[in-house]
Chains A and B, each alone.
Chain A
Amino acid sequence: MKRIPVAGLLVTAMACALAQQKFGADGIAEYRKMLEDGNPSDLFEARGEELWKKKRGPKNASLEQCDLGKGPGVVKGAFVELPRYFADTKKVQDLESRLLTCMETLQGFDAAEIAKTPFGVGEQVSIEGLVAYVSAESRGSRFNLPQAHADEQKMYELGKRAFFYRAGPYDFSCASCHGEAGKRIRMQELPKLTSDPGDGVGFAAWPAYRLSSGEMWGMQRRLNDCYRQQRFPFPGYGSDVTIALGVYMGVNAKGAQSIAPAIKR
């Protein structure tokens, strides 16, 4: 009687076991799918809508006259056109810096104070709700950042240079992780951000609720953490370089569908 080698048996057994359980990309995809229904971002959206409409601050006013680029009070569709140039501030602004402008001019808050406030504290918590609400009002729309104004084009170029700028103790740039397709760190896929990485990916997936910390992260916080991971000094909140990176990624993502506020690891 022919005897089956033990080693061969073991290999077959292991192959069967592995086939029944999903690891790697399939397993992660199943995990993410199970969490799609019931995104805690909903809780932040509700808070944000409340904050948009509530009279607050020294001037006891709401944010309902805030111009996010499509006219005072127009929230629908505004998110997918940010960052963009604003005539009143003569600056290209992203969502967070524009919210600071409105919170200061309409409500009397001190924008510089909020910019210095650590994430998760004080008015930074209000910003979490507001970015969730504003981005939710553009969910499903496609990115279409304007590039007509000279400053918008300049910021794109600045963003590109910042993206490829290597520095810090490990000589990392954004491109080190996001400059090529098919890269990953452990189980996290790293989208290529020098061109459109697709619907709901990269720039199109933030703000997002991070399950690992149970926190709502806007793009400013996401970039802050990127710089931390690159061992760079933290960028100023709402600073030109962070806005420029938003312009670069956002213009590259033209046509991609926003799924914000999304859910992330």
Chain B
Amino acid sequence: MQTRREILSGSASVAAMLAATGLLPRLAHAQNVPGYKASAFESKSIADAMAALGVAMPSESTDIRVTAPDIAENGAVVPVGAATSLAGVKSILILVEKNPNVLAAMFDVSDAVEADFSTRVKMGQSSNVFAVALMGDGRSLFAQKDVKVTLGGCGG
């Protein structure tokens, strides 16, 4: 296995080579990764996000677990977990209701991984946080938690 140093020096020299040939993409122009569900990630409401993903509005379910602190010291970093032990899950979503763009993350679930993901999100203000499970049979289910934010996390 390569040491961290070897990996770094290897990638640095590849990058240097690419930079010399002008083949590295210019930083100024942003381009979405192919297949990126941009309209879903730009949705301003839960309803819009669900519509953009082509799924039904979710119904509340005690089989879905959302983990988040009651109060976040800083909205810039809020730990959130979304999980379910139901079988037949296609995707797990994390949404922050009052964020300028409500959909934070979307995880595709394969048979090889548990439908249980934890990450950290930015919250602009105190808001409900939603964990949504999109099921293979077309159902969508959610759980929510109210998270208070003492300092909004989207600004400078």
Please determine if A and B sit in direct contact within the complex, based on CB atoms under 8 angstroms apart. yes
7 more A-B contacts (CB under 8 A) besides A187-B73, A265-B151? Answer: A21-B70, A28-B71, A28-B73, A34-B79, A35-B79, A50-B8, A265-B73
Whether the pair A23, B70 counts as a contact (CB closer than 8 A) is yes
**CB neighbours of B69 from chain A (8 A):** 27, 30-31, 34
CB distance from A28 to the nearest CB of B (A): 5
Which of A22, A32, A35, A213 has the most C-beta atoms of chain B within 10 angstroms of its own C-beta? A35
Q: Does any Cβ of B come within 8 Å of A46's Cβ?
A: yes
The reply to whether the CB of A60 lies closer than 8 angstroms to some CB of chain B is no
B94 at interface by CB-CB < 8 Å: no
B85 CB within 8 Å of chain A: no
Task: Verify A212–B74 contact, CB threshold 8 A.
Answer: yes
In the complex, B26 has a CB within 8 A of chain A? no
- List B residues 7-42 near A (Cβ within 8 Å): 8
Tell me how far the C-beta of A91 lies from the nearest C-beta in chain B, rounded to whole angstroms: 33
- Interface pairs A-B: 3 shortest CB-CB: A27-B71, A31-B69, A211-B77
Question: CA of A50 to CA of B11 in the docked complex: distance in angstroms?
Answer: 14
**Contact: A212 with B153, CB < 8 Å?**
yes
16 contacts between A and B (CB under 8 A): A27-B71, A28-B71, A30-B69, A30-B71, A31-B69, A31-B72, A34-B69, A50-B5, A50-B8, A186-B150, A211-B74, A211-B76, A211-B77, A212-B153, A265-B73, A265-B151
Q: Whole-angstrom distance from the CB of A146 to the nearest CB of chain B?
A: 34
Bound CA–CA A121/B61 (angstroms): 49
Residue A214 at the chain B interface, CB threshold 8 Å: yes
Q: Whose C-beta in chain A lies nearest to the C-beta of B5?
A: A50
Q: Looking at the assembled complex, report how far the CB atom of A62 sits from the nearest CB atom of chain B, in whole angstroms.
A: 12
Closest-by-CB residue of B relative to A27 is B71
B148 surroundings in chain A (CB, below 8 A) = 23, 27
Most buried by A among B8, B73, B146, B153: B73
Task: Write out the residue numbers on chain A whose beta carbons fall within 8 Å of the beta carbon of B79.
Answer: 31, 34-35
Q: Are A22 and B71 in contact, with the CB atoms below 8 A?
A: yes
Task: Report which of B70, B146, B151 forms a contact with A212, defined as CB distance below 8 A.
Answer: B151
Nearest A residue to B78 by beta-carbon distance? A31
CA separation between A186 and B150, bound complex, in Å?
9
Cα A265 to Cα B153 with chains together (Å): 11
Contacts of A35 in B (CB 8 A): 77, 79, 120
Contacts of B150 in A (CB 8 A): 186-187
Residues of the A chain whose Cβ atoms lie less than 8 Å from the Cβ of B71: 21-23, 27-28, 30-31
Task: Please state if A46 and B70 are interface contacts (CB–CB under 8 Å).
Answer: no
1/0 per residue, CB under 8 A from B, across A29-56: the answer is 0111011000000000010001001000
Residues of A close to B73: CB separation below 8 A: 28, 31-32, 187, 211, 265
CB contacts under 8 Å to B, within A1-37, are: 21-23, 27-28, 30-32, 34-35
